[in-house]
Amino acid sequence: MKTITLEEHFLTETYMRATAEYSVKTGMQFPDLQAKLLDLGAGRIAAMDEAGIDLQVMSLVAFGLEGLSAADGTAVARAVNDELAAAVKANPTRLAGFATLGMKDVGAAVKELERCVSVLGFRGVMVNGTVEGRFFDDARFLPFFEAAAALDVPVYLHPAPPPEPVREAYYTGLPGQLGMMLSIAGWGWHSETALHTLRLIVSGLFDKVPGLQLIIGHMGEGLPFALARSSGMLSGAAKLKQTVAEYFKTNIHLTTSGYFTLPPLKCALEVVGIERMMYSVDYPFSANTKGKDFLEKVAGVLSGAEMEMLVGGNAAKVLRLGE
C-alpha cells in the first residue's frame, strides 16, 4: 500500500529574498520551520521515512507572490519551478511537484503551467487565496482553469493571508497575536477557502470547464458539515447543471491535511465519500509522524480497500502517477 501526501510545503532562497518585504508585513516568515521548508532533499526524505511516506508532492509556500508585480511574480515562479524540478530529478521515486504560478499575469501563468506539466513533469498546480483581492471565479482566470483541464492536471486551492480590508474588518481588536492566528489556521483560512470553493461552483466554473478537478485541503475546509444547507440554499438560484453538492462527486477532492481527528473524517466520508478523499499531512506545519498516528486511528474506521484508496490510490489516479 503506497502512501502519498500532497499538501506538503517548501521554500527556496530565491523566493525568500524576492518576497522578504511582503512576508515581514504579513507575518508569514516561519522562522522556526525555515530549515525544514528549505530542505528539498535528505532531511525531508528522512522525515518521510520516519512516517512511512513513499511519495511527497511538494508545493511552494507562495503567499509572498501577492506582494510582487506581475512581471516579478512570473519570473520568481519560474525560478522556483526550476529549483523544484531539480529536487524531483534528484529523488524521482520519492518527490513530485505542484507548479507555482504568478497569477497576476494569467497569460504568462498559463504558459508556465504548460511548461511545468509538459517539460518539468509536474503533477498539478497549487494556487493560494485571492489575487489582488479577486477570487478565482473572476472571468480573467478562466483561461487558467481551461489550461489545467486541457493538461489533465488538478488545481489545489490553498488558503492565504486575508486581503487587508478583510483583516481589518474581521481580525483586529484582539490581544497579542490572536487576531493573526484567527485569520489563518485558527479559522479564517478555512472559512475563506470554503467560501472560495462555493464561489467557484455557483459561478458555473465546473459547467464551463467540466473536466476541471479541484482539490481542497483540511478535510474539506468545513464544507462537508455545511454542504446540505449550502447546496439547498444555493443550487436553485445558481441555475447549474447539477446541485452544488453534486460537484463534490464530479469535480472536487478533499485532503486530510492538518486535520488529525476522526469526527471531521467521518463527516467527510458520509458526505462526499471515500472516492473523493486523499491523505495529506501539511508538512512541515504538521509533523509527518502526527499523520502516521492519525492513520493508525483511521485503520479502525475504514476497510483495507478504503485505506488503500485514502493513503495513495486516489491520489495516484488524480495525479496520473505512473504515466
- Looking at residue 26, its pLDDT comes to 86
Inter-residue contact 221 to 190 (CB < 8 Å): yes
**Phi, psi dihedrals of residue 6, rounded to the nearest 5°:** -140, 20
| Distance between CA atoms of residues 56 and 121, nearest Å | 14
Q: What is the pTM of this model?
A: 0.97
Question: Which position has the grid cell 526524505?
Answer: 45
**Phi, psi dihedrals of residue 38, rounded to the nearest 5°:** -80, -15
pLDDT in tens, the chain (323 residues): 899 999 999 999 999 999 999 998 888 889 999 999 999 999 999 999 999 999 999 999 999 999 999 999 999 999 999 999 999 999 999 999 999 999 999 999 999 999 999 999 999 999 999 999 999 999 999 999 999 999 999 999 999 999 999 999 999 999 999 999 999 999 999 999 999 999 999 999 999 999 999 999 999 999 999 999 999 999 999 999 999 999 999 999 999 999 999 999 999 999 999 999 999 999 999 999 999 999 999 999 999 999 999 999 999 999 999 77
Q: How far is CA 136 from the centre of its chain?
A: 14
- Looking at residue 25, its pLDDT comes to 86
> Could you tell me the three cell numbers for 280?
495529506
| Distance between CA atoms of residues 293 and 281, nearest Å | 11
**Count of CB atoms within 10 A of residue 81's CB?**
24
Inter-residue contact 145 to 117 (CB < 8 Å): no
